[in-house]
Amino acid sequence: MSSIIQFANRELNTPIQEHMALDHWYSCQSNTSLTQVNQLPELTTQSICFFGPNIQLQHLLEVEKFLRTFAIEQTYFTAYQPHEQLPVALGIRFNASQLPSKAEVRDFAKSINAQGAMITQAPTLEEPGLLVMDMDSTAIQIECIDEIARLADRYEEVASVTAQAMAGALSFSESLHRRVASLSGVPLSQIQSLKENLPLMPGIEQLCQALKQHHWHLAIASGGFTWFAESLIEPLQLDAVFANTLEVENEQLTGKVLGDIVDADKKAEVLGQLATQYAIPMTQTVAIGDGANDLVMMANAQLGVAIHGKPKVVENADAAICEGSLLQLLYLLGVPK
């Protein structure tokens, strides 16, 4: 296997040497299997990226050793920094007859204290796109229904229904109706402060701002509630919100949900509907979420990314961000071509 390093990347804000220990820089420069270029040739649609606050370009030699275990004919490394608030990442494009699996890439990334993903035909920031995101535990750090239950001192009752749903004893729709029924009589005034102070997931505002600058459309498709989701429209610059509507009478929750439930299939439907509405090709769509209820939507998108996801979601997603800021999604969209 021969390898080429793109040291003069236009997206790197500082010289690559500043990101490498001197001995590793010398090792790369003197390694006869590594050749320096200023521009990458046309390659296959697969790419790998390794990213995170602990990734160093000195890991390049370890990455090359890992890739040698596969039938990869030629590898092109590049250092890139898709946002000034993100550290430098390693991007890899290659020609190969045998590819590492997503799990193998993730496991190797852990061995160098980083995160990694293998991506096929990722959407690009160079064209308008569509990001559809889950809300609870994805765009925000909490599960709203759990927090309502805590404030109303009904958490154990709601948690019992949640446990049944996770065990497969209840469908999402049935579990939602039962949990909401437990909240009957809760005054809106008791949960108003929760709505006004939703803890955003780190990096989500910066991510949305960056995507908007590249003419992307942004939406939430949530199994949570419009009462909370609509409060995110302004801070996240959302174009659309789809969530469940809590019935309210006399400034109290009635314990009922109005209209159709936003479940896994509805989320996937929203993705396709918005892509058509905004004239975005499906090849330019991204869906992110943390739970099993997001998997259908994520599978329908060109790129489905697990965000601090459950093990099943991480396993089935195209890529995963398991630690750190959501701004890191830009790594997956910005591997230099």
Domain residue spans in the chain? 2-120, 130-144+199-251+258-333
- Residue 323 region, left (φ>0) first, then alpha (ψ -120 to 50), else beta? beta
Whether 318 is catalytic is no
Please, what's the b/e burial string for 53-83 (b: 16 or more CB within 10 A of its CB; e: otherwise)?
Answer: eebbbbbbeebbebbeebebeebbbbbbbbb
Question: Which candidate, 128, 228, 145, places its Cα nearest to that of 183?
Answer: 145
Domain 2-120 in CATH 3.30.70.260: yes
β pairing state of 240-249 and 252-258:
antiparallel
Give pLDDT tens digits along the chain (337 positions): 444 444 434 343 444 445 444 444 344 444 444 445 455 555 556 889 999 988 877 788 888 888 888 877 677 888 889 999 999 899 988 776 678 899 999 999 999 999 999 998 899 999 999 999 999 999 999 999 999 999 999 999 998 888 787 666 788 999 999 999 999 999 999 999 999 999 999 999 999 999 999 999 999 999 999 999 999 999 999 999 999 999 999 999 999 999 999 999 999 999 999 999 999 999 999 999 999 999 999 999 999 999 999 899 999 999 999 999 999 999 999 888 7
Largest CA distance in the chain: 76
Q: Which of 134, 290, 294, 318 is catalytic?
A: 134
- Cα torsion angle, 20, 26, 30, 31, sign: negative
Question: Rounded distance, CA 107 to CA 147, Å?
Answer: 34
Query: What's at 159, amino acid-wise?
Result: A
CA separation for the pair 192, 221 (Å, rounded) = 22
**Residue 260 is a catalytic residue:** no
Superfamily in which the 130-144+199-251+258-333 domain is placed by CATH: HAD superfamily/HAD-like (3.40.50.1000)
> Residue 326 corresponds to which tokens in the numbers above?
């959501």
* Cα dist from 204 to 144, 211, 242, whole Å: 17, 11, 18
> Catalytic: which of 23, 107, 136, 239?
136
